[in-house]
Structure 1
Amino acid sequence: MTGWVAALAELAAAERPAALVTLLRVAGSTPREPGAKLVVTAEALHGTIGGGHLELTAVETARELLAAAARDPGAAGPLVRELQLGPTLGQCCGGVATLLFELVLPPPWQVAVFGAGHVGKALVKLLADLPCRVSWVDAREGEFPAALPASVRRVVTDAPEDALAALPAGADVVVMTHSHALDFQLVEAALRRGDLGYVGLIGSRTKRARFVSRLASRGRTEAELARLTCPIGLPGVGGKLPAEIALAAAAQLLQRRTAAAACLESEQAPARSGGSHQG
């Protein structure tokens, strides 16, 4: 496998952002031919577009783009720059290089599903076709299908609370394990974190009432408890079959994600346009 391809594959598997720099066009003398590629992360480089000031400038630009995308995912579009190697960069080649910068970012929507039972299987099947990255957690390895979609990562562990602790801020969490005790442990840990998105628990209103009462007795605040969604799923959608419950839950997750994205876009629009002026 080509070096830059392998590097991008490894970074994608580790969910680390990267920039792919391609030498798009050249005129005159340049250190590399068109098609040369360089993968840039915040800490490392993979491949080369010829070294020297050209590559140094490319790395600086790529890292500026990565930093901008971290602040505003809407700023992740491709960029083309034309660089004069002689007058601008002081390289003896003296040619002109046109560079294409493309960001390769982890999906901003991360969902963790705890439990590989019937509803968990149905939910993950639906989420696999949505623009999200799914972490599917269960201690029972035999409950997972032999093959999983590329967007789904299987986590087999006897310590699911560690998997929850490792989730990025803003991740959505759906708890539907085979054990009420484990459900409680995971819900309590999710609410205690305070930086997750959706925290959903499969079950009835009676189950919610029991959990809320016990959580409150263990120090969880009203604000934290209000973040717990139980029962899960859009009201009026679905039924009692696993696929129906999963469909309602996926619809609720997508609805919340869409609303959050619209809110973020609304907040960031003035900043992109230079802000507003009040007199």
Structure 2
Amino acid sequence: MRDLDDLRRAVAREGAIARVVIAATRGSTPRAAGAAMLVWPDGQSGSIGGGRLEHEAAGAARALLTEGVGIRVLRQALGPALGQCCGGAVVLVIERFDRQRVEEAASTLAETGLWARRIEAGAGDPPRTARQGVQATTTWSDGWLIERLLPRHPVVIHGAGHVGRALAEMLAPLPDLAVTLADTRAEMLRNMPAAITPSDHPLRALSAAQDTATHVIVTHDHALDLELCHQLLQRPFASAGLIGSATKWARFRQRLAALGHTDAQISRISCPIGDPNLGKHPQAIALGVAAALLKEPGLRAADRRRTA
């Protein structure tokens, strides 16, 4: 379960929402078990994929909210009934969430890392996996739904100009990522999507970042870019990229070496970034950076490798 923060924000905004999660799959399906979306009367976020499947599920979720029902289970074959060619089948669990329900989930997940709940009437005792812990993201067993709390990979974007803002808005909807956007200019951080965490200074964002974070340096100030690279090379990080030309990077390498960093350390920062075949428009640069980031081994979510 990666959408707990999204769930909290949606409930705070709407009062009550319906969450649709793929509890189990069989055969070819658009998304894997664990994919989820949030639905409210006049909107939705997230995706379970499948076009018609998602449309029908959203309708069922809104009906659940209207009827005041707490839980509903849908077993759906993705064949002639939906006019889809996948040929597989899914079990969908739709649950109503209000503030109390969200905090119940959050408390359980914080304590054990798992949230096991009885979904279907007549289900027996919790399965052994609920008592011993599970490795799967989502487990559907004998009328019980068990979800494991999964961390989001932190991505810190230093600079909220055209490229930084475009990149943040591309990455923020992905449930696997937690995006922070940092800039010294307060006006650049206005009207951001709720899923993006703002920071008022790139150096503070770097200092606060987890050791596993990916950093993308795209500020408007070359001196700040250099200082960020210098500070970054003195601490752990997963990967890092710097916007700029080959000439800029050659000068930065010299300056970073003069600051005491070895060639091996400096080479951990990628520069230039993006895909030159896509062009130099800010959105094109952001698209190339996002594509490269999502190819990193630690970010290859299982359901990105399955299509229907």
TM-score interval, smaller chain:
0.5 to 0.7
Mapped to 1, the partners of 2:260 and 2:278 lie a distance apart of: 34
Q: What CA deviation, in whole Å up to 9, does each residue of 1:14-49 have, x standing for no partner?
A: x9994222134576xxxxxx8xxxxxxxxxxxxxxx
| Aligned-partner Cα distance in 1 for 2:239–2:203 | 17
Q: Does 1:119 align with 2:163?
A: yes
Q: Which residue does the alignment assign to 1:223? A: 264
Q: Which has the larger radius of gyration?
A: 1
1:241 aligns with 2:281: yes
**Residue 6 of structure 1 pairs with residue 103 of structure 2:** yes
Query: Is the alpha carbon distance of 1:138 and 1:7 closer, same or farther for their aligned partners in structure 2, counting shifts above 3 Å?
Result: farther
2:157 touches 2:217 (CA, 8 Å); kept in 1? yes
Matched, 1:101 2:198: no
Conserved? CA contact 1:191–1:199, under 8 Å: no
- Measured in 2, the distance between the counterparts of 1:204 and 1:10 equals 48
Moved more, 98-107 or 130-139: 98-107
Q: Which amino acid aligns with 2:203?
A: E
Tell me how large the CA RMSD over aligned residues is: 3.3
Using the aligned pairs only, state the percent identity: 34
Specify the code of the residue in structure 1 equivalent to 2:167. L
Map Cα deviations across residues 46-82 of structure 1 (whole Å, 9 max, x no partner): xxxxxxxx89x99863xx44xx5xxxxxx3332647x
- Relative to structure 1, is the Cα distance of residues 212 and 250 closer, same or farther in structure 2, using a 3 angstrom cutoff? same
1:173-215 per-position Cα deviation (integer Å, ceiling 9, x unaligned): 100112111111111122221x322210111111111111111
Matching of residue 20 in structure 1 with residue 65 in structure 2: no
Structure 1 pair 185–224 and aligned structure 2 pair: CA distance change class (3 A) = same
The 1:2–1:254 alpha-carbon spacing in structure 2 relative to 1, beyond 3 Å, is closer
The 2-side partners of 1:20 and 1:4 are apart by 12
**Shift in alpha-carbon separation, 1:111–1:237, aligned structure 2, 3 A:** farther
CA distance in 1, matches of 2:140, 2:207: 36
CA distance in 2, matches of 1:143, 1:4: 35
SS of alignment partner, residue 204 of structure 2: helix
Query: Which structure is higher in RCO with an 8 Å CA cutoff and minimum separation 6?
Result: 2
- Which residue of the partner structure matches residue 181 of structure 1? 223
- 1:106 shift after superposition: 2.7
> Equivalents in 1 of 2:108, 2:246: separation in Å?
42
Q: Which residue of 1 aligns with 2:188?
A: 143
Counterpart code for 1:132:
L
Alignment TM-score, normalising by the size of structure 1: 0.61
| Unaligned runs of at least 5 residues, structure 1 | 28-33, 35-53, 69-74, 82-97, 266-279
Q: How many residues align?
A: 202
Counterpart Cα distance in 2 of 1:138 and 1:6: 32
